[in-house]
Amino acid sequence: SKQQDETMGYTSERNLVSSNQLESTQKKLSIEDFVMLNQLGKGAFGKVFKVKKKDNCKIYALKAMNKKQIFDSNLEQNAVIEKEVLNNNKHPFIVNLKYSFQSQTKLYFVLEYIDGGEFYQILQRTQGLPEPVVQFVAAEVILALEYLNMKLNIIYRDLKPENLLLTKSGHVKLTDFGLATKRKENNQKSYTLVGTTEYLAPEIIRKEGHSFEVDLWTLGILIYEMITGKTPFAHPERNQNKIQYLILKNNPIYPPTMSRDAKDLINSLLQTNPQLRLGANGYDSIKNHSYFSKINWQDLYEQKVKSPL
C-alpha cells in the first residue's frame, strides 16, 4: 500500500525519481514495457534479467530489487547511492544506467546490456592469466575506482571478478553498486561489515571503521587472483573465521613465478594500515608503479587500447 511505501522510507522515492534527468522527459516506465528474456545474475537484493524494451526492441539488463528487503537490512541509502552513481556516471569502464522506475514493492534499474560475458568465468577457466591481460584488466579497473573514489566520492566496497563484466570488444565494465557508500567529509570512516569474505580489508574485519582505502586492498586481492587464479587468503574449507584470521595475519604467499613488479605492487596494496597502502595519497602512485610501465593511461581511458582478451 501507499502507507507501507511511506513507512519503508520511500520518501527516498523523492531522491530516486526527481533527481533523474533521464526520466523527466519521458513517461514513466513499468515492467509492462519490457519482455523478460532470461536471468543474468543474482545479487543480495534481487535478480538481474536480460530484457527487451517493447517500443525500441533494444536489449537491456534489468535489475529488480525488493524494497522491503533493502529496507529491512537498513541499506535503503545504498539503493539511492547506486542510482546516483549510475545516473552521474559517464565513465567508459562503469555500467551505464538507462532508466529507472519502481512498483509498490520493487525498484528497477534498466542498465546497458554488456554482451561480452563475465570476467570471473574467464578467470575460472585458467590457473591465472598472462601478465599483459592482468595489466590491462587491472588498469581499466583502476580508472573506474579512481573515478568512483575521487570524482564521485564513493567507496565501491565490492570489487571482485563477479562484478566485472566484459564488452564484446573485451573492455571492462564495473557493475553492482549495491554495497557502495558515500565517502564522508574528511574521509571519516564507515563501520558496516560488508563485502565478500576473501576480499575483506583488515580494517573492515576489525570494525575499526573504513574508507576508500578498502578499495585499494581489494584491488591488491583482485590482481593476486588474476595472476595466480586464487585469492591470497583463500581457505580450502571456505571457513569464514579462518579466512578472517588469515587476512589479519596478512602473510600472503607469492609464488616464485610471480614477477618482481607484481609482487611489489600487490605487497604495496595489501598493507594492513590503510594509510600506508599504495594509492592512499592518490591513484597516481598506482598508475606510476613499474608494473604498469607499459600502460598509456590516456589512451586506455579513450579506449584506444585494443583488449588482449
- For ligand ADE, the closer of residues 176 and 225 by Cβ is 176
Amino acid at 81: I
Whole-number Å distance between alpha carbons of 263 and 249: 18
- For ligand ADE, the closer of residues 95 and 154 by Cβ is 95
CB of 34 to ligand ADE, least distance (A): 14
CB of 95 to ligand ADE, least distance (A): 5
CB of 103 to ligand ADE, least distance (A): 20
5 given a catalytic annotation:
no
Residues that bind ligand ADE (CB under 6 A): 40-41, 48, 61, 95, 111, 113-114, 165, 175
Grid coordinates standing for 16? Answer: 530516486
CB of 251 to ligand ADE, least distance (A): 35
- For ligand ADE, the closer of residues 173 and 183 by Cβ is 173
Whole-number Å distance between alpha carbons of 40 and 117: 10
User: 280-299 b/e with 16+ CB inside 10 Å = b?
Assistant: beebeebbebebbeebebee
Closest CB to ligand ADE: residue number: 61
Whole-number Å distance between alpha carbons of 158 and 171: 19
Sort residue 128 into left (φ over 0), alpha (ψ -120 to 50) or beta: left
- For ligand ADE, the closer of residues 147 and 212 by Cβ is 147
- For ligand ADE, the closer of residues 41 and 209 by Cβ is 41
Whole-number Å distance between alpha carbons of 257 and 227: 10
- Nearest alpha-carbon partner for 117 in 169, 176, 177: 169
Whole-number Å distance between alpha carbons of 134 and 230: 14
> Per the residue annotation, which of 158, 261, 264, 299 is the catalytic one?
158
Question: Annotated catalytic sites, by residue?
Answer: 158
